[in-house]
Chains A and B, each alone.
Chain A
């Protein structure tokens, strides 16, 4: 510390708080911690397993096979002209999984980390951010698998699928999924520090949400069959994201700009709301958790 900082306080600890006090400089200073948390999550998850990271693949593959058997072969849900149901399901599950993992991973940030949070200070938001990043790695692997099957279906099975131009928006789609999962997760995590009721909601809420997010059916089919309830899925930003992801990779439907913009705005607002609530909670949650 030099003498130039003689009259300026580095920081103040007080009861008062700004609405959004996200200190980017501080978060940047702790970037190594973020990466080490990511490393910890990735490295330790499959320690002492034989298949190791292969489990990243087995999960979505088996789910896709089951979905194909039940929803497409048994229930005869159409997946669009010439689109192989397996590829359709794998696309939906890959996108859904990223959101789900982000959401469930961050939704118990405070409760799960109360031991660390109770002893040392670091920007609390590092924790949920690290979950988002480590899930991004997982998502990347699953995306590779999806690409592999995509190529297999196109060249070996000669399926008539082509990607859409909107595929260039893929990074934004991933970002929206991350923001949605993070925003919702931070809200839930903040609200469950004192009253734990919501944790019970999360467990089956995620299950219900999957059915409402167009994972195993195309939105157009839902609209045709159940027009009365179609708005439930239509205005669900997660459904929009999943539909968009499928459309950009499999060209099932056209790209809806308004819907996409709506999803972007929704996710940003949700994220900011989550951040405000998270910041409010982080200061003294340790007394009530």
Chain B
């Protein structure tokens, strides 16, 4: 089946910044006066791209601008983007919480969202009563809820408290109950936002499992919004990247994630390449690049992903026995790993002109974080140049063991290992 279930045409959403006060009414009256005379809204022309970090001149911003895409029946679409890229606004429009400023969305199925769990929970009512109320708010009928109530209670793991008012629940229990209700929704199109950062580790596992089960259910169309690239990659078939309210990329999920990772950077000062000023010396490091295995410059890598560091050198003299070092450090200068050409190879290099040295790092075993690279260039045993922490890169969480689970914890490195179990009689 390849019919289109959801069509998004030219969706834009404008927001007004600042406070609503007496000043706002003049704009409202102006807008109304234009409307009365059958003219276009004067404030729709203004408005800037929604970039959180820069100050703009206009009071109006476009949280979304000209969004177009289609979703086929049974497809699981990943929506990724930085904070403030417009993901939530898009979901709000899709779930009809707010309407778009321009454009339209056509759908052939009912849309339900897991935007926020526990909407409409009343503290004075019991868990059971709240399941009914919350389920109805999310669009289920009483009969539907009744047929699933045991399943819901069981999934929540709150059976002991189910006839106690929710105000007596711990916050974790409330969330469990709320997620249990939401997870048993059966709409044609399900919108899932990152609700998974809830509950304890055990429940999170359960929630992720349920989510995968829902998403992989027969013919279910899912829009999945997440920052968890591993989850997006394993669940989705196609993806779109939102950037400042516009679609930056759409296509196959792997390409989408790659695009997103290459665009995103935690440190805005480099994108995987750094160039140095001319120093008017015989030999100097001209630039340092970090490359993906296919030689694209990047500064975001998944855990376990191979990458290369390339040192480009401008040289006018005759050099023999050239050596290079690449040292990976933390942001505060703790040295983790040194890669030295003269230790790792038996050959040395010599050159009369410009040259470059590349080290191909097969696996660096670092946990997700931001890291810096210090490079050193030597001739014989004399330093030509050492540049401390000249470039940074990020390691991003990844399902590195292929188990569907992401290594957690504040550790520096991870290791591959084999586990063995033997019963001893």
Contact = CB atoms under 8 A, between A and B. Distances in A.
Given A1-B188, A10-B107, A119-B116, A284 B99 contact: yes
Interface residues of B, number: 46
Contacts of A121: 95-97
Contacts of A16: 104
Contacts of A8: 108
Contacts, number: 110
A153 interface: no
A273 B15 CA distance: 28
Given A116-B120, A194-B20, A14 B103 contact: yes
A36 B104 contact: no
A10 B109 contact: yes
Contact of A195 (B25, B73, B94, B133): B25
A287 B104 contact: no
Interface in A184-219: 194-195
Given A15-B103, A43-B129, 10 more contacts: A9-B108, A10-B107, A12-B105, A14-B100, A36-B142, A116-B119, A120-B137, A121-B95, A194-B20, A286-B92
B100 A118 contact: no
B97 A286 contact: yes
Interface of B: 3, 7, 15, 20, 24-25, 28, 73, 92-110, 113, 115-116, 119-120, 122, 124-125, 129, 132-133, 136-139, 141-142, 165, 188
Nearest to B102: A15
Given A9-B107, A10-B110, A15-B101, A115 B122 contact: no
Given A33-B137, A115-B119, A116-B120, A286 B100 contact: no
A288 B20 contact: yes
Contacts of A47: 124, 165
A12 B116 contact: no
Interface in A101-129: 115-122
A286 B96 CA distance: 11
B137 A116 contact: yes
Most chain A beta-carbon neighbours within 10 Å: one of B93, B99, B105:
B99
B133 A1 contact: no
A73 interface: no
12 contacts: A1-B108, A9-B106, A9-B107, A10-B110, A13-B105, A14-B104, A15-B102, A30-B136, A116-B119, A119-B115, A194-B28, A195-B20
B110 A13 contact: no
Nearest to B106: A9
Given A116-B119, A120-B115, A120-B119, A283 B137 contact: no
Contacts of A287: 15, 98
Nearest to A286: B98
Most chain B beta-carbon neighbours within 10 Å: one of A10, A16, A194, A286:
A10
